[in-house]
Structures are given as structure tokens and as C-alpha cells.
Amino acid sequence: MVHPILMPRPGQMTEECTLLVWHKNEGDPVARGDVLFEIETDKAVMEVEAFDEGVLLRRLVGEGETVAVNTVCAYIGQPGEPIPEASPAPAPAPVPAPAAPRVAAPAPAPARAPQAAGGAAAAPRISPRANRLAAELGVDARTLTGSGPDGRIVERDIRAAATVRPAAPPRPDAASPQAPDLAPGSAGDEGERQPLSRMRQVIAQRMSHSAATAPQFAVTVAVDVTRLIELREELKAAGTSLTVTDFVMVAAARSLVEMPVVNSHTDGQSVWMRRRVHLGLAVSVPNGLVVVVLRDADHLGLDEIHQRASSLAAAARDGTLPPDEMSGSTFTISNLGMHGVEQFAALINPGESAILAVGSAAREPVVIGDGLGIRWIMRLTLTADHRLVDGELAARFLDDLRGRLQDPAGLRRTTPDLEGRR
């Protein structure tokens, strides 16, 4: 019996995927569990395995092609079995945009013409993964001929070009008579136009929706984390490496249990009071940002928080994080302190009522009694949805969080049984 292989739907909001590379050729034997091909979504790269046995009779989607979910990509069956007449792959379905005020979209740029004598090169057809790799390796994709379907440039073309790339021609001296006289802001001064990556498009859509639909305000407090820094250094010397973010996540999870409104969600008409705390942690990846989710974080101790957050962040940066590990958060934490950022306000992740922005810990002079002392101070900024959280509640939440961080030994104790409060 012939079995169709469909493009999977890795996440609830995923409507299309790019087939990056085939691991099986037509005629190859296939066993259950064999990897057939790899796909790319807007956030991750995943392997697609076979659920049937036989041989790969035909491949219908080429490497580098983007198709809608549930598109037939191939057929598996027994040698000689007739293959159903292949219908053209459906066009990728548009990603449904959340309800938001209409904003006039900029007119699309005119399509580039093919290269003519003395003219500019046409934009190459290139897969998203190959485009990112070209940027990383410094390969000019416009100079390549693709080996993918219809001449599409795929990852192997970029890697091959990187190994034999000739030296770039010298750039004309600005003072040379041959150098073009370009006024600041001209097209030549701006550089080559490049399309926004799918990940950045999703980020743009979600953050625009957040800013347009939720009335957001920010509240900041300074936290004396001297004892926390000292405890962290003691643990590090003893062989236990915990981060400041680990302590913040544990403290935030416990504060959210005490003030569940900050863990809730509204659409402007109703409120969903969530019974579980699923902490989101913003993680920077090569082409953008993803939020990894630590489920039931209020029941995790410091060591468990550290191990889980480290594992999820590593998978996100490798592009191997499953979609269900990037959805369902109820409250998000974003830490830029490791980059020297003292204070900032983040936009609320859609579907949540608040987000916590963590700045750097720095030594500052503070008043202690009638004198001055040097303490480690860290600033926390809570951005909240004013439909649910008012200024007084935001202040109480931050004060509760500050108290927990200023007593780091209490955060090391086993999380109390909270089932009675749920």
C-alpha cells in the first residue's frame, strides 16, 4: 500500500515549513523511525521520521521549497506500486494575524529585473537556512548558481562556495575619480535590500500586536542583591554554578503564586486566572529571540531551574527546541544584565499580563544608617497590562520579589507544597 508523507504541523500557529534537506533518495529502503528529511519553521529545525516501511517511491517537494502544512511531500510503498497522480503542492497558507487595529502596510517593492549588461544582479532564490549561513560565512549568494529545485540556492551551495571563495575585489577609494559620488541616504549608501527573516516577521507581528492591544506601563525597583552575589560566589567555589537569572526565576515563580492576577490573562472582556506557573525565559538566538518555557516553575528548586533553563536555552540556540517548549508561558523574564544594561522595559509577550526586565548588578554607594556603604544593586522593571494590573499591585509584586531576592538563602529551601492554594 502506498503511504503519503505529509508536511507536519510542528506548532499550533505554524502554517508552512521549509524542507531543508532530504535524507532519503527515491528507491531507498525506509524503515519506521528513519529520518526522511529536515524542515525549518520560523523558530527551529526539526527532523521528520517515517511511520511506514517500504521504499521511497517519489519525492514531490524539493530541498529549499516552502510549502503549507499537510502538503504531500513524498510517497512510501513497495517497489513497483502505482503512485497516485501528484497534484501541485498548495500555496503556503498565510499566517493568521491576531485581531488588531488595521495599519496601512507599505507598498511592496517592485520586483527586481534579471541582470542586464551594466545593471544590478537579480535577487537570488535562496532558502532561509542558506541565507543565514551565507551571512555567517560572508558568501555573496548573488554570485552563485543554485543546485536546488529551479535553481534555488540551498545550504550545500553556500558551504561549497565558502571553501573556494576568492578574495573580494578591492573597494574603490572614496577619493578616487572612479569612486561613485553617492549622497548620504542614497540607495547605494543604504546597501543591499534583504528580506526580513521569518523569525523576525513573527517577532514583529507579535510585538506590534502586544503594543497595539494592551495598555502597558512600567514600574522599576532597585534590589540590594549583595547577599545573593555573595551566596552565588560561595556556591560557585563549591562547584555549583548558578546564575542570577536562576534566583530571579525561582523568586518570580513564588511571587506569582502569591499574586495570581500577575499570572493571568485577559482579552479585554474576560479574565483567565491560571492555576499553574509556566515561566517564559527570553533567549537570544542567531536570528532573533525565542521564549523557552519552564513548566510548573513554582514547584522547581534552584538546581532544577538551572538545569532546565540551561538545557532549553542550549536547544533553542542550536535550533533543535521542539515547538511545544516555546509556547504556553504565563509570565516572561528577560535579562539583559549580562550585557551591561542597567535598566530597560520589555514589551509584554502576547497572552500574558506582565513581563519582568532584569538589569545588571553593579556596585553602588547607598545610605546605610547615618553613613554610606557599597552594595550590589540590581534594577527590576515590571511591564504590566493595565487592564488587569494597576500600579499598586505592580508595586506590591515587585516589593515581594525584592524581599525574596534579598533573602537568597530562603530561595534555596525546597519549594513548599502549594497544592492547597490552587
Q: Which residues pair with 364 in a beta bridge?
A: 375
For residue 420, pLDDT over 50 is answered with no
Position 45 scores a pLDDT of 76
Q: Say which amino acid occupies 375.
A: R
Amino acid at 18: T
Determine the 3-state secondary structure of 338 from DSSP: helix
Residue 149 falls inside a structural domain:
no
Residue 353 has pLDDT above 60, yes or no: yes
Boundary-marking domain end, from 50, 77, 104 = 77
**Each residue of 357-394: pLDDT tens digit?**
999 999 999 998 899 999 999 999 999 999 999 999 99
In a domain, 350, yes or no: yes
> What would the grid cell of residue 410 be?
530562603
Half-sphere CA count of 241, side-chain side, radius 13 A: 3
Asked if pLDDT for residue 221 goes beyond 90, the answer is yes
Active site residue 386: yes
Residue range(s) defining the domain that contains residue 33: 3-77
Would you say residue 111 lies in a domain? no
pLDDT tens, position by position, 151-196: 778 777 777 777 665 444 444 444 444 444 445 555 556 677 777 7
Q: What is the CATH number of the domain that holds 262?
A: 3.30.559.10
As beta bridge partners, residue 233 has none
- The pair phi, psi for residue 218, each rounded to 5°, is -125, 140
Among the candidates 77, 93, 124, a domain finishes at: 77
Say if 120 falls within a structural domain. no
Task: Enter the DSSP assignment of 419.
Answer: G
CATH number of the domain encompassing residue 64? 2.40.50.100
In a domain, 185, yes or no: no
Q: Residue 139 — pLDDT band, cuts 50, 70, 90?
A: confident
Beta carbons within 8 Å of 45's beta carbon, 6+ residues apart:
20, 38, 39, 129, 319, 320
Q: How far apart are CA 144 and CA 412, in angstroms?
A: 56
Contact residues for 89 (Cβ-Cβ < 8 A; gap 6+): 60, 61, 65, 67, 68, 71, 72
Say what the pLDDT of residue 190 is.
65
Specify if 96 maps to a domain.
Answer: no
State residue 391's pLDDT score.
96
Percentage, residues of the chain above pLDDT 90: 47
Of residues 68 and 187, more confidently modeled: 68
Q: What is the pLDDT of residues 13-66, one digit of tens each?
A: 677 888 988 999 999 999 988 999 988 876 677 889 998 899 999 999 998 888
pLDDT digits (tens, 9 = 90+) for 258-275: 999 999 999 889 999 998
Q: Which of 77, 104, 130 is the C-terminal boundary of a domain? A: 77
For residue 13, what pLDDT is reported? 64
Question: Based on the structure, what is the number of domains in the chain?
Answer: 2
pLDDT at 207 over 70: yes
Please tell me the predicted confidence (pLDDT) of residue 115.
42
Residue range 103-130, pLDDT digits in tens: 344 444 433 434 433 333 445 677 666 7
pLDDT at 102 > cutoff 90: no
Is this model's pTM higher than 0.75 or not? no
CB 379, CB 364: distance < 8 Å:
no
Mean pLDDT of the chain: 81
Does residue 254 lie within any of the structural domains? yes
Residue 113 lies in a domain: no
pLDDT digits (tens, 9 = 90+) for 334-346: 999 999 999 999 9
